[in-house]
Structure 1
Amino acid sequence: MSRALYQILEWITRFAYINVLWVLFTLAGGILFGLFPATIAMFSLVRQWLRGNSDSPVLKSFWQYYKSEFFKSNFLGLFIYGISFIFIFNIFFLYANMGELLTWTTAPLLAGMLLFIMLLFYLFPTYVHFDLSIAQTFKNALLMMFVSPVHTVFIFVSLLAFYFIVYVIPALGFVFGASFYCFITVWFSLDVFKRIAEKKTR
């Protein structure tokens, strides 16, 4: 029992620590240029942990991923920033010109935003799991999203449950927000990757 409790506390500490590192390294890159290298570093470490490699020093590994993926991850970030800007611009434009009709006239736009959010569930796990170009990363993440609707639903449900917990205990959002999102998406994505690989071997 004490052994199990120790392991639980160790994992809790790890995820709190990596969440702090994610915040610090994001700030170190001026937020705009630090967000995606820090995110990729966090996803890379969590992927290692879930695959059984949890012995490497956290800070050293995080810094190595951050440095090595700085430019490529920011290139990925440019696409995400661009797509996000298009959605946000269109919402504000429609709201400014149509007012109360917004909810009826933006159905396709909101559907596109939903698809984009679901794509993000698989985008970072795909990036850290495969050695692909940015275009191939988007393509494969999109494929994962469409071939694994059940996993996508589980991700939604898990994140929604965490949202309600954070609503009751806001401090948990500051301590585990990014790392919990990372853990959930990587955990389910690894199962998707495994299933697809097994189908290919058959």
Structure 2
Amino acid sequence: MFTMDSLLYKFTVWFMRLAYVNILWIVLTITGLGVFGFFPSTVAMFAVVRHWIRGDTEIPILITFWSHYKTNFMKTNMLGMVMTLLGLMIYWNLLFFISMNNQIGAMLFYLTIALALVYFVVVSFIIPVYVHYDLKVVGYLKYAFIISLSYPHHALYIGFSSIVMYYATLFFPVLFLFFSGSFLSLLIMRFAYVVFERVERKNSSKEVVAAEV
């Protein structure tokens, strides 16, 4: 019943993997003083999940997680600060424009709402882009922006998954400890990886056509 090929065995293995990674994510976020630990630990979690999606399911989880956490600590915090500042600027603008209480303020408010939607779509892709490509900070923002606008339905899938996980942790708080980050990162990275494969196929086909010409 509990053989290597059984569904119960596979479920147990994935249960333990996801729980282990989620606990690492929480612990290293806390040990990084919360703010400074959140971005590198989240990137490390996504990097581990990316290995799994690519078929590397037997990687040493702790070593892989710690390697990505340590290597990307400074760069991910820089990217995180940029995204946080952009988010705060949008939030402050929303508060300011709504306080104007006139037609110009209303128009600017709705324009900022549209900008906020674009921001959240970009945020949904920024970490998968980070762990999949080797770019500079500005390059990650640019590429996440292009991909998110080119594949908005995938961004909607990611947003819906995030909302479902948020409410699931409210009703079942134990999920936060074991699956809130790891399971959500698995879903997000799965959606994003499909997009990356499509982009890479398009780029390779263009290169073939260019070579033939």
TM norm. shorter chain > 0.5 = yes
Q: Does 1:106 align with 2:145?
A: no
Give a deviation string over 1:152-193, Cα, whole Å, max 9, x none: 222233333334433432332343222222112111110001
Contact 2:169 2:175 in 1 (8 A): yes
Q: Aligned pair in 2 of structure 1 residues 111, 189: CA closer, same or farther (>3 Å)? A: same
Percent identity for Structure 1 against Structure 2: 32
Contact 2:40 2:69 in 1 (8 A): yes
Q: How large is the RMSD of aligned CA atoms in angstroms? A: 2.2
Distance 1:81 1:155 in 2: 19
- Once the two structures are TM-superposed, the CA of residue 119 in structure 1 deviates from its matched residue by 0.5
Q: Does 1:148 align with 2:138?
A: no
Q: Aligned pair in 2 of structure 1 residues 165, 150: CA closer, same or farther (>3 Å)? A: same
Residue equivalent to 1:116: 119
Contact 2:49 2:185 in 1 (8 A): yes
Match for 1:54 among 51, 54, 57?
Answer: 57
Q: Gaps spanning 5+ residues in structure 2: where?
A: 206-213
Q: Aligned pair in 2 of structure 1 residues 161, 27: CA closer, same or farther (>3 Å)? A: closer
Superposed counterparts of 1:37-116, under 5 Å: 37-94=40-97, 98=101, 106-116=109-119
Distance 1:28 1:92 in 2: 34
Distance 1:159 1:37 in 2: 19
Q: Does 1:5 align with 2:8?
A: yes
Contact 2:121 2:152 in 1 (8 A): no
Superposed counterparts of 1:117-196, under 5 Å: 117-196=120-199
Give a deviation string over 1:76-110, Cα, whole Å, max 9, x none: 11201211221232344456665xxx988632222
Tell me which amino acid in the other structure corresponds to 1:194. Answer: E
Distance 1:150 1:92 in 2: 29
- Once the two structures are TM-superposed, the CA of residue 6 in structure 1 deviates from its matched residue by 1.3
Give a deviation string over 1:1-31, Cα, whole Å, max 9, x none: 7411211221122112111111111111111
Q: Gaps spanning 5+ residues in structure 1: where?
A: none
User: Residue 177 of structure 1 aligns to a residue in which SS?
Assistant: coil
Per the normalisation by structure 1, the TM-score is 0.88
Q: Aligned pair in 2 of structure 1 residues 103, 165: CA closer, same or farther (>3 Å)? A: farther
Tell me which amino acid in the other structure corresponds to 2:143. Answer: N
Distance 2:182 2:93 in 1: 31
Give a deviation string over 1:35-70, Cα, whole Å, max 9, x none: 111111111111011111121221111111111111
Tell me which amino acid in the other structure corresponds to 2:59. Answer: S
Per the normalisation by structure 2, the TM-score is 0.84
Counting matched residue pairs gives: 199
Distance 2:99 2:178 in 1: 37
Distance 1:106 1:5 in 2: 52
